[in-house]
Amino acid sequence: MQNAHQELIENARKKFSRYRELSSQLGEAAAREAMLEGFPELQKERMGPLLDRPTLAEAFREAIPLFRSIGMEMAVVDISNRGIDAVLEIQRICPWLEVCREYGFDTPCHVICELDMEATRRAFPEMQGEILARQAHGSPVCIFKYERPATGESAAATSSAGPAKD
């Protein structure tokens, strides 16, 4: 676990360094686009097999051991309702808070999480994502909401009668 966590931190350092360099050379907007080059394809490769599960809750729960292996503590809440397959991803640990300061960023959000969300949106246009809470802004957890139209099995669990039970 320690090696996976160290690798995560080292990759974050590379991202912050590259973003700092690109934004100095090209400006924020161009740096953001440069950081996204190839990222949606990587997200599709990483997340695609999980997102083939009948529900987002199943997909995200399956990812919990991976997050645990890199030192993060994740909880998943199924909020599917009214024909929408939806989930809250709750992260209790933000490993990037300290690393971002090493590179002169107040928060890691726009370099890590917002880019992840945008890459996911581009990789899976049927999915929407939103950051609802950020530890970097004083919240006790980071909360990410993902949703997509319910289909097949997930549609049965998202009737207007209420959310699917955990």
Q: What is the C-alpha separation between 58 and 52, in angstroms, rounded? A: 10
Residue 138 belongs to a domain: yes
The confidence score (pLDDT) of residue 139 equals 97
Residue 66 belongs to a domain: yes
- pLDDT band of residue 158 (cuts 50, 70, 90) is low
User: Is residue 1 over pLDDT 80?
Assistant: no
Residue 164 belongs to a domain: no
Chain segment 15-63, per-residue pLDDT in tens: 999 999 999 999 999 999 999 999 999 999 999 999 999 999 999 999 9
Number of structural domains found in the chain: 1
Q: What is the C-alpha separation between 95 and 98, in angstroms, rounded? A: 7
Q: What's phi and psi for 96, nearest 5 deg?
A: -95, -5
Q: What is the C-alpha separation between 141 and 139, in angstroms, rounded? A: 5
Chain segment 85-132, per-residue pLDDT in tens: 999 999 999 989 888 988 889 899 999 999 999 999 999 999 999 999
Domain that holds residue 65: 2-156
Residue 19 belongs to a domain: yes
The confidence score (pLDDT) of residue 155 equals 60
Residue 165 belongs to a domain: no
8 A C-beta contact, residue 151 and residue 54: no
Residue 12 belongs to a domain: yes
Residue 162 belongs to a domain: no
The confidence score (pLDDT) of residue 3 equals 81
The 10 Å Cβ neighbour count of residue 110 is 18
Domain with residue 107: its CATH number is 3.30.1380
Q: What's phi and psi for 82, nearest 5 deg?
A: 50, 45
Residue 42 belongs to a domain: yes
Quote the pTM value. 0.86
- The tokens describing 17, both together, are 């360094």
50 class by beta-carbon count within 10 Å (0-12 exposed, 13-18 middle, 19+ buried):
middle
- The tokens describing 164, both together, are 């699917």
